[in-house]
């Protein structure tokens, strides 16, 4: 199909920057792009036609063909470019083959874009904890956010916390921002099979009980204070496993590995359920999160959760987690002690965790996003 002719054939052409969805080791924003794109394709009205922009050939499940969960086909545009893909190559694409609406699910709007553009801003952690981000990244994210807060037709956030941050820090109009809570990966569920639990323990060389952190290894995740708090616990508490790919400024953290503190690297998707299910507790004392996918994943796997009482994390966890002050090592240590020794507390958290996790679905997220698309397109909606 000639994608440039779609919007004149009775359909509305929705362009989506799908470049983040093809990461080989996806983390939060990449998984958000992947699952939301699939949900949008499964929920969209027939008059919407999607064009997906990639900077490399997609190796994931996302393709132009309809599937069991994606009833609509999509046009795919693979437009490789070595550097500055968003602002140079995608901008040229917008100039030459402009869609009726552009959706950017990962923060950065190209310089040239349709007036009807929608952008997801995942968080503003670089403003609150600048020391946890490289200077060049801080500068780029600040300028990008300031740019699309002013020029995008509408902004999406993963939480009310980030919505408030945009209003406070960038003076974005509140009625220009909509909260669309992300969903839970439907494949995440508790594993009780002893053979599967043993396989994962063997693969990652785990011996005995363990507390688990899962996320990027970087300063914003507050791992230094977590390590200090864990060191206050008795040896019988087992190991602290820090799982995730190394991020910026991770070298000093990695050097602190010893017999009780282990860095096990990026966890394959096939291993995540069993690794979470086998943990004594999941610990996530991050300094700032726009949403906090790992907390939701742990709740779905029936694991007691400790997380920070800041930013979006109380929205995600509700009353299903031990909340701690991430700046107070003693408070983190107190929470670790409670969640590993108080059986009544652990049982209560597990019982509450399952229904809390089920509140977050990609279908509900897609419905909110599609409603925003309709409102942005309203002045010149095409009747299908």
Q: How far apart are the first and last CA of the chain?
A: 18
Residue 297 tokens read as: 């994943």
Q: Evaluate whether 144 touches 107 at the Cβ level (below 8 Å).
A: yes
Q: At 353, phi and psi to the nearest 5?
A: -65, -40
Residue 355 tokens read as: 């229904």
Q: Across the strands, what pairs with 104?
A: 119
- For residue 220, the SS3 value is helix
Residue extent(s) of CATH 3.40.50.2000 domains in the chain? 3-183+361-380, 194-358
pLDDT tens for 110-156 read 988 999 999 999 999 889 888 777 888 889 899 989 988 999 999 99
In the sheet with 239-243, reading across from the earlier edge strand, the strands are: 261-265, 239-243, 210-214, 281-284, 305-308, 321-324
pLDDT tens for 222-250 read 999 999 999 999 887 899 999 998 876 66
Q: Evaluate whether 182 touches 293 at the Cβ level (below 8 Å).
A: yes
- Block residue for tokens 């300028």: 143
pLDDT tens for 25-51 read 667 788 899 999 999 999 999 999 999
Least confident range of 97-106, 197-206, 229-238, 343-352: 229-238
How many Cα atoms are found within 13 Å in the side-chain-facing hemisphere of 84? Answer: 6
Looking at the domain covering 3-183+361-380, what would its CATH class be? alpha beta
Q: Across the strands, what pairs with 210?
A: 239
Q: Given pLDDT bands bounded at 50, 70 and 90, which one contains residue 382? A: very low
Q: Please determine, looking at this structure, whether the domain spanning 194-358 carries the CATH number 3.20.20.210.
A: no
Q: At 163, phi and psi to the nearest 5?
A: -60, -45
41-44-46 Cα angle (round to 5): 105
pLDDT tens for 170-213 read 999 999 999 999 999 888 899 999 999 999 999 999 999 999 99
In this prediction the pTM is: 0.85
- How do 321-324 and 154-157 pair as beta strands? unpaired
Helix (H) or strand (E) holding 35: helix 28-43
What is the residue-averaged pLDDT of the chain? 88
Q: What is the pLDDT of residue 62?
A: 52
Q: Evaluate whether 30 touches 21 at the Cβ level (below 8 Å).
A: yes
Q: Evaluate whether 156 touches 243 at the Cβ level (below 8 Å).
A: no
Residues in Cβ contact with 84 at an 8 Å cutoff, skipping those fewer than 6 apart: none
Eight-state DSSP code of residue 86: I
Q: What is the pLDDT of residue 8?
A: 44
């Amino acid at each position: 199909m000639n994608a440039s002719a779609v919007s004149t054939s009775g359909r509305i052409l929705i362009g989506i920057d799908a470049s983040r969805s093809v990461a080989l080791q996806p983390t939060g924003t990449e998984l958000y792009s992947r699952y939301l794109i699939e949900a949008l394709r499964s929920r969209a009205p027939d008059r919407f036609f999607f064009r997906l922009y990639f900077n490399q050939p997609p190796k994931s499940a996302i393709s132009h063909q309809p599937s069991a969960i994606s009833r609509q086909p999509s046009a795919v545009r693979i437009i490789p470019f070595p550097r500055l893909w968003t602002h140079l190559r995608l901008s040229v694409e917008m100039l030459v083959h402009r869609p009726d609406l552009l959706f950017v699910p990962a923060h950065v709007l190209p310089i040239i874009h349709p007036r009807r553009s929608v952008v997801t801003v995942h968080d503003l952690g670089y403003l609150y904890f600048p020391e946890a981000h490289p200077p060049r990244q801080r500068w780029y994210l600040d300028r990008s956010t300031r740019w699309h807060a002013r020029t995008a037709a509408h902004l999406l956030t993963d939480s009310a916390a980030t919505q408030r941050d945009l209003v406070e820090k960038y003076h974005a109009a509140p009625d220009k921002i909509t909260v669309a809570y992300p969903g839970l990966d439907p494949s995440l569920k508790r594993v009780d099979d002893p053979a599967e639990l043993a396989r994962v323990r063997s693969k990652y060389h785990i011996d005995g009980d363990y507390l688990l952190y899962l996320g990027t290894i970087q300063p914003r995740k507050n791992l230094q204070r977590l390590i200090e708090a864990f060191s206050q616990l008795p040896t019988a508490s087992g190991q602290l496993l820090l799982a995730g790919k190394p991020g910026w400024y991770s070298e000093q953290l990695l050097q602190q590995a010893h017999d009780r503190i282990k860095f096990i690297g990026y966890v394959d998707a096939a291993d995540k359920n069993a690794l979470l299910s086998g943990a004594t507790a999941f610990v996530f004392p991050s300094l700032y999160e726009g949403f906090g996918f790992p907390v939701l994943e742990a709740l779905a796997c029936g694991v007691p959760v400790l997380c920070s009482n800041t930013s979006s994390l109380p929205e995600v966890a509700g009353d299903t987690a031990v909340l701690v002050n991430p700046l107070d090592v003693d408070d983190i240590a107190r929470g670790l002690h409670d969640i590993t020794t108080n059986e009544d507390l652990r049982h209560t958290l597990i019982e509450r965790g399952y229904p809390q996790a089920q509140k977050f679905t990609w279908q509900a997220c897609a419905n909110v996003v599609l409603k925003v698309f309709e409102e942005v397109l309203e002045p010149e909606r095409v009747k299908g």
